[in-house]
Amino acid sequence: MANEHSQTLQAYALSPVAPGITNLLDRAVALTTGNPGNSPGPDTEVLIGGRPTRNHLEACPNLRVLIIPYAGVPEKTRELLLDFPWISVHNLHHNAAAAAELATALLLAAGKRIVPADRSLRGGDWSIRYADAGDVQFAGKTALVLGLGAIGSRVARVCASLGMHVVGVRRHPDKSHAVNGVAETHPVAALDTLLPASDAVVVALPLTPETRGLLGARELAFLPRHAILVNVARGAVVDEEALFEALARGQIGAAGIDVWYSYPRTEAACKETFPSRFPFHHLDNVVLSPHRGGGFNRPDLERLRAERLAHLLNAAARGEPIPNRVDVGAGY
């Protein structure tokens, strides 16, 4: 899709991208990296960044593609792009395996009460071995996976391998999009029926206007008291107060949470920021994880990011279909 005056695709990254990417690009791709405060030039055809401003987009009359270098679309970005319908939006799924692995770890840790058992034994206390600690046997149980994208489909396969009956929820439960390990697929509208029969719920949905607060007090009340909730999507898909109250009252059995409601805004704040306005850290039936599913600053995942991003840019330069297109209206 190089412009008519050049055979070279002009791409601009709003901030530094995955190291080593230049070695993976075709000669027909010219990639310029700027700083968050800089603006791309008027020849830019592909913009790389998760949170471009209106000024960024308007500064590029030749812009036709925005690549968000991670999974999902920030809400403000989605709202902005509705005013630029000629720009196709694409994202990366390079961290799908890592996020699915963490979801599995949280599910097992919460269900097997690993954290309180570890804490007790460090103090020489074996009593949890002889008590009814509420451990879950996953084989023969039902797992409800909300979202069967790159992450959710991997989680579904793992749950099936544990001997679980896996039920999926997706926007279009089309039989032609069958996912290995998923026995049933339903639309979101079926949640009221599905939740009471679910022993574990894994949230892997994007955050959109439709999914914000999807699981609130009403929906959590449908779950069995022994149910486990895992969230590796976005915190706001599950209502913050409702989740805390359900866990604190024993309305649901346990949770494993990797995505939160409060994040540190500075490096100094990283050591003094609680993940919620509610004291989840006081609850023994929660496994807390500081948003590690995306593999932030992990060299192996940054290499994968570079490979996936180069694949998209090379496809654009060759005039081929660019993978991972986002439906801006739907938000994913």
Residue 2: per-residue pLDDT: 57
Which domains are present in the chain? 9-94+299-326 (3.40.50.720), 96-288 (3.40.50.720)
The C-alpha atoms of residue 318 and residue 311 are separated, in whole angstroms, by 11
Residue 260: per-residue pLDDT: 97
Task: Give the pLDDT confidence score for residue 293 in this predicted structure.
Answer: 86
Structural contact between residues 287 and 109, judged by C-beta atoms closer than 8 angstroms: yes
Among the listed residues 147, 110, 112, 162, the one whose alpha carbon sits nearest the alpha carbon of residue 283: 110
Candidates 90, 234, 305, 308; catalytic one = 234
157, 226, 291, 298: the catalytic one is 291
| pLDDT given at position 4 | 47
**What are the pLDDT digits (tens) for 14-56?**
988 877 899 999 999 999 988 655 679 899 999 999 999 999 9
- Which segments of the chain have a pLDDT < 70? 1-6, 35-38, 175-177, 295-297
C-beta atoms surrounding 34 within 10 Å: 17
Structure tokens at 308: 């996936």
Contact call for residues 220 and 246 (beta carbons, < 8 A): yes
Query: Cα separation of 240 and 256, whole Å?
Result: 14
pTM exceeding 0.85: yes
- Position 1 scores a pLDDT of 62
Tokens of 50: 């998760």
Residue pLDDT, tens place only, 86-138 = 999 999 999 999 999 999 999 999 999 999 999 999 999 999 999 887 789 99
Active site residue 272: yes
- Beta-sheet strands, E only, within 106-162: 142-146
Question: HSE-up of 250 (CA within 13 Å, CB side)?
Answer: 1
Give the pLDDT of residue 5.
Answer: 46
Residue 239 backbone phi and psi in degrees, to 5: -60, 125
Catalytic annotation, pick one of 122, 249, 272, 282: 272
**DSSP, res 321:** P
Q: Kindly give, in sequence order, each residue whose CB lies less than 8 Å from that of residue 207, ignoring residues fewer than 6 positions away.
A: 72, 75, 233, 234, 236, 237, 331
* Cβ atoms 277, 262 nearer than 8 A: yes
